[in-house]
């Protein structure tokens, strides 16, 4: 199974089982623009036999909607709860990808999740890497999950 399939499968499973939302993967691509607007990104670093980054990027309205479903409480803007929820989603996705890449669990370590959000920001984490970005549809809205990997 390739990384795009792993990400798509893990994302569908996590959203379905943990948040009770159905998402549909679109065609895998690569991100060419490092900038985001009115969005939040949750990130987890990978280190060891490979180094890289797993990120989930969501526009503000998608992030608040997902957090509302995840936590079962109304959220209207990006706040600490949204940051925690999106960071935890990144953490769960990174864990699923790590398991697929490193079945023994001993060759790759994950960082603590972090988030960044704002009206405008750039993310460009790993130079000279293999990158895959999977856009997802959630009730007509779009978010993406990205994996950047390079040899350690």
The two tokens of residue 52 are 């890289």
pLDDT in tens, 14-63: 999 999 999 999 999 988 888 999 999 999 999 998 889 999 999 999 99
In the prediction, which pLDDT does 1 show?
53
Place of tokens 């691509």: 29
C-alpha distances out from residue 64 to 18, 58, 71, 94, Å: 16, 9, 10, 21
pTM above 0.75, yes or no: yes
* pLDDT at residue 126 greater than cutoff 60: yes
In the prediction, which pLDDT does 89 show?
97
In the prediction, which pLDDT does 103 show?
82
Ranges of H-type helices in the chain: 3-14, 60-71, 80-101
Confidence of residue 69 (pLDDT cuts 50, 70, 90): very high
* pLDDT at residue 151 greater than cutoff 80: no
Confidence of residue 67 (pLDDT cuts 50, 70, 90): very high
User: What CA–CA distance (Å, rounded) separates 93 from 13?
Assistant: 10
pLDDT in tens, 74-123: 999 999 999 999 999 999 999 999 988 888 878 899 999 999 999 999 88
In the prediction, which pLDDT does 137 show?
97
- b/e burial code for range 74-101 (CB count within 10 A of at least 16 → b): ebeebeeebbbbbbbbbbbbbbbbbebb
3-151 CATH? 3.40.1550.10
User: What CA–CA distance (Å, rounded) separates 102 from 86?
Assistant: 24
């Amino acid at each position: 199974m390739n990384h795009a399939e792993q990400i798509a499968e893990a994302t569908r499973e996590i959203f379905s089982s943990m948040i009770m939302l159905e998402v549909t993967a679109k065609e895998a691509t690569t991100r060419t623009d490092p900038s985001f607007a009115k969005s939040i990104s949750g990130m987890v670093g990978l280190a060891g036999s490979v180094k890289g980054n797993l990120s989930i990027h969501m526009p503000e309205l998608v992030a608040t909607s997902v957090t509302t479903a995840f936590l079962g409480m109304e959220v209207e803007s990006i706040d600490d709860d949204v940051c925690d929820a999106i960071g935890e989603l990144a953490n769960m996705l990174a864990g699923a990808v790590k398991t697929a890449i490193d079945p023994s669990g001993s060759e790759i370590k994950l960082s603590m999740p972090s988030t960044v959000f704002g009206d405008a920001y750039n993310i460009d984490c790993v130079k000279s890497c293999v990158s895959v970005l999977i856009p997802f549809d959630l009730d007509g809205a779009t978010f993406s999950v990205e994996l950047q990997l390079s040899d350690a």
